[in-house]
């Protein structure tokens, strides 16, 4: 195996892990709320800007923003604040569309995403310009004679732990059982003394916080934070969830790996592939939806009218 081929595999797995963190949030929210939260990608990509703001603020107060403690604190705060923003958006906007036709919620969340991007653009200092974002982990490690970036290993490890923690929470905790109950039958859940509103808010916090981890990793992978990153990343995360089957988190992971693999392959083999990568990605999405509209692991639902 050549060094170049090995590096492309590393890039594929790294990018797929980042997309998966965004995609599982789409599937989790759709599975619980039966609403497509199209601005989830925009919420997730708020995290790098929160992180930069915290680093700047701590640097002003402590006189040094370059320490590892400051950086880790900024990451934790940005993840928590992004989760809180997800809850706030549910309280202010999204909860009003729970019983509305799906198209109304879709249009509302598309508009909400535009609002979030424009707020970053106008309120963050020089928000229209790219902002350098530090690499979370530097250095390389030798594995089987090949050099592997520690950043890629960190992304894969943290993504795997995050997804495993999410699956454990859903299957083995009281909150997870309540989330499943509300997603299956809200009225029956109320009869069991489960408050759907609280479960919705908890679900938004979890999905937004996991998406924030993906947003931080993506900006660190790109080396910068931009207000419009959420357009591409949000669309790809949503597409991965659709390819895998909306509501299926294993499907979201498979869809993310498929899209990341195609993305990496096109950039490595097609002339000027970076300019055409999204063309191939969305051709894959169209192909999957034509032959399997419910996605790879999605279930076809029959609605009687």
Residue 264 has pLDDT above 60, yes or no: yes
pTM score over 0.85: yes
| 58 pLDDT above the threshold of 90 | no
pLDDT confidence band for 63 (50 / 70 / 90): low
Helix spans in 185-228 (H) = 186-191, 196-222
Does residue 190 form part of some domain? yes
pLDDT one-digit tens code per residue, 185-238: 888 888 888 888 899 999 999 999 999 999 999 999 999 999 989 988 999 999
Q: Provide the percentage of residues in the chain whose pLDDT is more than 90.
A: 48
Q: How many domains does the chain have?
A: 1
Q: Which domain holds residue 187?
A: 16-227
| Tens-place pLDDT, residues 271-281 | 887 888 889 99
Does residue 40 contact residue 211 with C-beta atoms inside 8 Å?
yes
Q: Is the pLDDT of residue 302 over 50?
A: no
Q: What is the pLDDT of residue 300?
A: 57
Q: Is residue 79's pLDDT more than 90?
A: yes
134, part of any domain: yes
CA angle 154, 19, 200 (to 5 degrees): 105
Q: Does residue 77 have a pLDDT over 70?
A: yes
Would residue 176 count as lying in a domain? Answer: yes
Does residue 30 belong to any structural domain of this protein? yes
Angle between helix 3-33 and 150-172 (nearest 10):
30
> H-type helices in the chain, by residue range?
3-33, 40-44, 47-62, 68-92, 102-123, 150-172, 174-184, 186-191, 196-222, 229-244, 249-269, 273-291
Count of CB atoms within 10 A of residue 191's CB? 8
Is 272 among the domain residues?
no
Q: Is 245 part of a structural domain of the chain?
A: no
Q: Please write the tens of the pLDDT for every residue from 20-40.
A: 999 999 999 988 888 888 899
Residues β-bridged to residue 140: 149
- Give SS3 for 132: strand
pLDDT at residue 1 is higher than 70: no
User: Which range is least confidently modeled, 61-75, 153-167, 273-287?
Assistant: 61-75
pLDDT exceeds 50 at position 304: no
Mean pLDDT of 261-271: 88
Q: What are phi and psi of 224, to 5 degrees?
A: -160, 160
* Geometric angle at alpha carbon 12, from 7 and 15, rounded to 5°: 120
The verdict on residue 244 lying in a domain is: no
Q: Specify the pLDDT at position 269.
A: 86
Residue 148, SS3 per DSSP: strand
d(CA 237, CA 256): 7
Residue 215 is predicted with a pLDDT of 94
pLDDT digits (tens, 9 = 90+) for 219-233: 999 999 999 899 889
Nearest of 151, 303, 294 to residue 222 by alpha carbon? 151
Q: What is the pLDDT of residues 101-156, one digit of tens each?
A: 878 888 899 999 999 999 999 999 888 999 999 888 888 888 877 888 899 999 99
In a domain, 279, yes or no: no
Please state, for a pLDDT cut of 70, what percent of the chain lies above it.
96
- Predicted confidence band of residue 66 (pLDDT cuts 50, 70, 90): low
């Amino acid at each position: 195996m050549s060094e170049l081929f090995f590096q492309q595999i590393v890039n594929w797995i790294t990018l797929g892990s980042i997309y998966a963190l965004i995609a599982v949030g789409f599937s989790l929210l759709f599975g619980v709320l039966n609403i497509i939260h199209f601005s989830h990608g925009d919420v997730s990509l708020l995290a790098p800007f929160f992180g930069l703001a915290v680093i700047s603020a701590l640097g002003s107060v402590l006189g040094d923003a370059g320490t590892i403690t400051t950086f880790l604190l900024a990451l934790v705060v940005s993840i928590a604040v992004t989760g809180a923003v997800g809850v706030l958006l549910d309280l202010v906007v999204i909860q009003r569309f729970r019983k509305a036709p799906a198209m109304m919620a879709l249009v509302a969340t598309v508009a909400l995403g535009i609002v979030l991007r424009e707020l970053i653009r106008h309120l963050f200092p020089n928000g229209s310009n790219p902002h350098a974002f530090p690499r979370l982990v530097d250095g390389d490690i030798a594995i089987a004679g090949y050099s592997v970036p520690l950043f890629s290993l960190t992304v894969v490890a943290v993504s795997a732990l995050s997804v495993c923690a999410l699956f454990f929470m859903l299957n083995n905790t009281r909150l997870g059982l309540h989330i499943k109950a509300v997603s299956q039958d809200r009225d029956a859940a109320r009869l069991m003394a489960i408050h759907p509103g609280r479960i919705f808010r908890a679900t938004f916090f979890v999905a937004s916080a996991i998406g924030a981890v993906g947003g931080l990793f993506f900006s660190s992978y790109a080396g910068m934070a931009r207000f419009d990153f959420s357009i591409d990343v949000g669309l790809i995360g949503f597409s991965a969830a659709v390819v895998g089957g909306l509501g299926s988190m294993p499907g979201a992971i498979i869809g993310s790996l498929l899209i990341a693999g195609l993305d990496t392959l096109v950039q490595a083999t097609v002339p000027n592939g970076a300019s055409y990568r999204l063309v191939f990605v969305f051709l894959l999405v169209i192909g999957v939806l034509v032959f399997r509209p419910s996605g790879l692991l999605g279930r076809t639902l029959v609605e009687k009218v």
